[in-house]
Amino acid sequence: MSQTDRLARIRRLLAERRAVSRQALLGALEVSPATLKRDLAFLRDNMNTPIVWDRELAGYRIDPTQTVGAQIELPGMWFSDKEIHALLTMQHLLANLDPGGILAPHVAPLLERLNALMGATRQPADEVRKRVLIVGIGKRSAKLTHFEAIGAALLQRKRLIIRYFARGKGEESEREISPQRLVHYRENWYLDAWCHLRSQVRNFAVDSIRRVQLLKTPAHDIPDARLDTILGPGYGIFAGPAVHTARLRFSPERARWVAAEHWHPDQHGSFDADGHYLLEIPYADHRELLMDILKHGRHCEVLAPVALRAVVSEELRLMSEPYD
């Protein structure tokens, strides 16, 4: 039995009984008196567990009158070695999605407790982080102050005034928005919000927000079903209600990879007799779809619609011309 499992067993026995004798603990854990002494000291010193020896009851018990730092202990928050490693791995993933952002300050106390527990296991926490490598390609930075204000507005259901830089037009504008949901998509963060300037649901890249101000005004809430109707049908982040259907054919060489990929919730794919993979996906805006098509080069052919095929052909023509 690992020390982490022994600590959990001790804590459970103390919670179930008024007091637990030293002999009962030794028998349940199957350890030496010296090991039991170290475990009890670890619980007191590292886990802030107020364990005391009660002479009248002739056993150990939890003293409810002693404070546990500034934290509130949650019943049952004890984990095995595997569970702790899994939690720390998830924390490592979270740190890459939320580098010092909305969740980091709230996760920190739990992380400290997990690191303390990891000190009792055979593998240190740093080993978990070293063995899980996350490589972000195309990730853009978002200012922490903006992230915190956006998170507060989302959770408190308040409006924001933002100064937004639209990269497509190269223009800045100021607008009042009601945040609806935060989306992490392809290494970057986007904010779905009701734009009071345009009276429409719009999608804002968080890293393009130059300035943000949290208002006290209640946010205008959009039902989830309506958000999904407006933003869900299209392809990628450029979603919208005017949906077309793209029919793509991939070479047999590339088909083995594309057939296993998830492009859209409503996609339809099938193999033909020659081993080509035929993929049908809805889209509202061709910009992101165009990039995904072009990355496959000659291995992807646009069968329909004609307008999308023309856009791809024109892009290929321009790519072949020398850049001035």
Q: Is residue 207 part of a domain?
A: yes
Q: Is residue 232 part of a domain?
A: no
What's the rounded Cα separation, in Å, for the pair 48 and 25?
19
What's the rounded Cα separation, in Å, for the pair 107 and 5?
23
Q: Are 172 and 203 found together in one domain?
A: yes
Q: Which domain holds residue 302?
A: 244-320
Q: Is residue 111 part of a domain?
A: yes
Q: Is residue 70 part of a domain?
A: no
Tell me, what CATH number does 8's domain have?
A: 1.10.10.10
Please give the chain's pLDDT, 324 residues, in tens.
Answer: 777 778 888 888 888 888 999 999 999 999 999 999 998 998 888 777 889 999 898 999 988 777 544 343 444 445 555 666 566 666 666 666 665 455 556 566 666 666 665 554 445 556 655 655 556 667 676 666 788 788 889 989 999 999 999 887 889 999 999 999 988 888 788 899 999 999 999 989 988 999 999 999 999 999 988 888 887 777 777 766 668 999 999 999 999 999 999 998 889 999 999 999 999 999 988 989 999 999 999 999 999 999 999 999 999 888 887 766
Tell me, what CATH number does 209's domain have?
A: 2.30.30
Q: Are 219 and 155 found together in one domain?
A: yes
Number of domains in the chain: 4
pTM of the model: 0.61
Q: Is residue 68 part of a domain?
A: no
Q: Is residue 85 part of a domain?
A: yes
First-residue to last-residue Cα distance in the chain: 69
**Angle, to 10 degrees, between the axis of helix 3-16 and the axis of helix 33-45?**
80
Q: Is residue 138 part of a domain?
A: no
Considering only CA atoms, give the Rg of the chain. 28
Q: Are 152 and 118 found together in one domain?
A: no
Q: Are 254 and 220 found together in one domain?
A: no
